[in-house]
Amino acid sequence: MSEFVEIFEVGPRDGLQNEPGLIATEDKINLVNQLSTAGFTRIEIASFVSPKWVPQMADSGEVLQGITRHEGKRYAALTPNMRGYERALAAKADEIAVFASASEGFSQANLNTDIAGSFERFAPILDAARHIDLPVRGYVSCVAECPYDGAVAPEQVAQVAEKLFAMGCYEISLGDTIGRASPDQIAKMLLAVREVVPASRLAGHFHDTSTRALDNVDCALSLGVRVFDAAVGGLGGCPFAPGAAGNLATEALNDHLLRLGYETGVDPAELSKAADLARSMRSQGAKTERD
Ligand code: HMG
Ligand code: MG
């Protein structure tokens, strides 16, 4: 039997958060439902951040309330602070994620606080989530390059990853936020992170600005990583990381993994329908912005 590699679909959150034009809540819900049909078991669909900072995610509660839920699937939400945690609970998110940065410059731009300050906000979230057995994922952004600070040392990434893991995050997703990392940088970073967090608890989150995301996936596969984040239709970027292009497109990743002989549990035909939906939402957004 072939080995399983999981694709954690982040398009409805990491993809759509960056779309400038207003996208109807109903369209977001349809996209999530189609992704469920395609076979993903974890889908990030919401972000309970400040609606002033990220207006596109302001209807996250309605999206979580409006989707058709499936047994065994988890619908995830970002929570930057306790306010976000409470909103996520009210909307019945199945899992949440805290997001830290390995570089000070990006932490400040993204969260309006330094790395230490971000951990002060995450600590009560992890405490509260532990009491109700709510799974918490941890992101580390800028694992190789930061748009503000330049190259990021692997040891810095390892320190932040170790801390998130020690606080109770069940999985650490390593973000090449601006998609400029080379496989060599990813390898050095992973070798450092694997010293403090087992590879079985790591995920790769590679944006595709330099079209090297699949090379970085191959590198991470060779070092034992078996979970990868991707966004349907290659949607995305980050509003606070200038130059960040879309995420690795889920359909490209799925094809690539199947070609390598892995199982993903994702149906390419249903995924292709989701990618069509995602692309039409992108052009809708662009149209609304122009209008
Ligand atoms: P702040 O200004 O330092 O916080 O922002 P504050 O506590 O002073 O609050 C400011 C205002 O925000 C107040 O409203 C609060 O009520 C409100 P006002 O009085 O001005 O009307 N507020 C909230 N509203 C709703 N929900 C909340 C919330 N918290 C405060 N949870 C804050 C701090 C974290 C809120 C802000 O910096 C923020 O929203 N940042 C989010 C940035 C973001 O969403 N970035 C994109 C996601 S991360 C990413 O994409 C990277 C990733 O994909 C991995 C990778 O690629 O590397 C995960
Ligand atoms: Mg991202």
- Please say if 238 is a catalytic residue: yes
**How confident is the model over 256-276, as pLDDT tens digits?**
999 999 999 999 999 999 999
Mean pLDDT of 48-54: 97
Two tokens, residue 268: 């390419």
In a domain, 1, yes or no: no
* pLDDT value at residue 241: 72
Residue (of 185, 262, 258) closest to 219 by Cα position: 185
Confidence check: pLDDT of 155 > 80: yes
In the chain, the number of structural domains is 1
Pairing label, strands 145-146, 150-151: antiparallel
Which of 50, 113, 121 maximizes ligand 1 atoms within 8 Å of its Cβ, making it the mutation to test the pocket? 50
User: What pLDDT was estimated at residue 290?
Assistant: 34
Predicted pLDDT at 127: 98
Predicted confidence at residue 284, as pLDDT, reads 66
CA 267 to ligand 1 centroid distance, Å: 35
Per-residue pLDDT band at 286 (split at 50, 70, 90): low
The backbone region for 145, taken as left when phi is positive above 0, alpha when psi lies in -120 to 50, beta otherwise, is beta
CATH number at residue 13: 3.20.20.70
67 domain-assigned? yes
**pLDDT higher than 50, residue 289:** no
User: How many residues are given for the chain?
Assistant: 291
Mean pLDDT of 1-10: 94
- The answer to whether position 141 is within a domain reads yes
Q: What is the pLDDT of residue 15?
A: 94
Q: Which of 32-36, 62-66, 125-129, 277-281 has the lowest mean pLDDT?
A: 277-281
Q: Could you tell me if residue 94 is inside a domain?
A: yes
Q: Say if residue 291's pLDDT is above 50.
A: no
Residue 161 lies in a domain: yes
> Does any domain span residue 146?
yes
State yes or no: pLDDT of 229 exceeds 60: yes
Q: Between 279 and 94, name the one with better pLDDT.
A: 94
Q: Are the beta carbons of 203 and 174 closer than 8 angstroms?
A: yes
Residue 29 lies in a domain: yes
Mind listing the pLDDT tens digit for each residue in 171-193? 999 999 999 999 999 999 999 99
Convert the pLDDT of each residue in 275-284 to its tens digit.
999 988 876 6
pLDDT at 282: 78
- Domain presence at residue 137: yes
Rounded to the nearest angstrom, the distance between the alpha carbon of 177 and the centre of ligand 2 is 5
Cα angle value 23/278/47 (rounded, 5°): 55
> Is there an atom of ligand 1 within 6 Å of 175 CB?
yes
Which pLDDT score, from 0 to 100, does residue 50 have?
Answer: 98
The residue range of the domain holding 168 is 6-286
Q: Give CA angle at 8 (3, 11), nearest 5°.
A: 145
